[in-house]
């Protein structure tokens, strides 16, 4: 068998793959194993796979291969390669008189038959998830980091536009944070950031995605939440996030709120809209929530 052309094989980072396909209908190892004949698919899984096939087109088989090998193969060869791996799986399973599973079959075929992988390593899926999770978290606050925020807001905006669902965004900035570092030092500044992040995680809902947006800025993505409900949540967060400094003074936050609407075409449109609302909150007195849609203010 002729080896595959190197030009047909390329590598993508985990961030690239999360950005492109990893959402609530992503391909888990369990689902791919079932699709490969490891067990019967449930009706829900059949529908999920059908939806993915329609959405991803020829890239669907690239996704399948990436799920089992963490290596990306172009759509031009992925379907043919997947069929060959399934055939290899069936042949080896027959010889051994047991199902070897799609992951073992794929790694064996790619490393020992086509020689497209060097020294493959089997790693438990939960371990992979933990490693990926750590790489997407901010070390100080435990919130999702800046990179993950832009991956997720892009995904959520595209989903909102595709399915005509509501989506909102909060951008939160700590008022006068520079004076904390200048007066009390960066250790106190770190304490404030960690304390506010902890409050944010408590006050946000399970469905909300809390991120550290920048140095002293946070962001919260709120799927399926309109501007009015988001305003109520934002005001509660603003009140709860205030922390006491060593001299007894209170450190507060300002929040800009935006929701997807007719003017939103990309995630950048939504971020810019929330950022403009945050700017107005800072310029008009701080410690308040400003809504981008109608520029109405909810003051302290």
Encode pLDDT of 174-214 as tens digits. Answer: 999 999 989 999 999 999 999 999 999 999 998 899 999 98
User: What tokens appear for 249 in the block?
Assistant: 């003074």
> Could you tell me the CA-to-CA distances from 267 to 129, 156, 173 in Å, in that order?
26, 8, 19
Residue 262 has pLDDT above 90, yes or no: no
Per-residue pLDDT tens over the stretch 221-238: 999 999 999 999 999 999
Residue 123 has pLDDT above 90, yes or no: no
280: pLDDT confidence band, cut at 50, 70 and 90? very high
Contact 41, 94 (CB under 8 A): no
Residue 225: how many other CB atoms lie within 10 Å? 23
Residue 129 has pLDDT above 60, yes or no: no
User: What tokens appear for 250 in the block?
Assistant: 């209170």
**Bridge partners, 167 (sequence order):** 223
């Amino acid at each position: 068998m002729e080896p595959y052309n190197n030009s047909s094989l390329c590598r993508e980072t985990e961030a690239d793959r999360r950005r492109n396909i990893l959402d609530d209908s992503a391909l888990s190892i369990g689902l791919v194993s079932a699709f490969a004949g490891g067990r019967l698919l449930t009706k829900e899984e059949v529908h999920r796979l059908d939806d993915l096939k329609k959405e991803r087109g020829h890239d669907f088989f690239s996704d399948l291969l990436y799920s089992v090998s963490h290596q990306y193969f172009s759509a031009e060869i992925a379907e043919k390669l997947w069929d060959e791996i399934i055939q290899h799986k069936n042949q080896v399973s027959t010889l051994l008189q047991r199902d070897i599973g799609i992951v073992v079959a794929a790694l064996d075929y790619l490393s020992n038959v086509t020689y497209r992988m060097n020294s493959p390593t089997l790693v438990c899926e939960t371990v992979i998830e933990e490693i990926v999770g750590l790489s997407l978290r901010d070390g100080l606050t435990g919130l999702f980091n800046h990179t993950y925020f832009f991956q997720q807001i892009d995904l959520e905006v595209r989903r909102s536009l595709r399915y005509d669902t509501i989506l909102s965004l909060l951008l939160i900035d700590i008022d006068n944070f520079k004076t904390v570092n200048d007066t009390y030092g960066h250790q106190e500044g770190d304490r404030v950031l960690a304390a506010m992040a902890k409050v944010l995680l408590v006050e946000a809902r399970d469905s909300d995605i809390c991120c550290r947006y920048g140095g002293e800025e946070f962001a919260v993505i709120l799927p399926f939440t309109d501007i009015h409900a988001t305003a109520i949540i934002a005001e509660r967060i603003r009140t709860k996030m205030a922390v006491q400094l060593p001299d007894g003074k209170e450190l507060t936050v300002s929040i800009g709120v935006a929701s997807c609407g007719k003017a939103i075409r990309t995630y950048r449109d939504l971020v810019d809209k929330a950022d403009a609302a945050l700017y107005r909150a800072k310029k008009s007195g701080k410690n308040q929530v400003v809504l981008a849609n109608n520029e109405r203010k909810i003051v302290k």
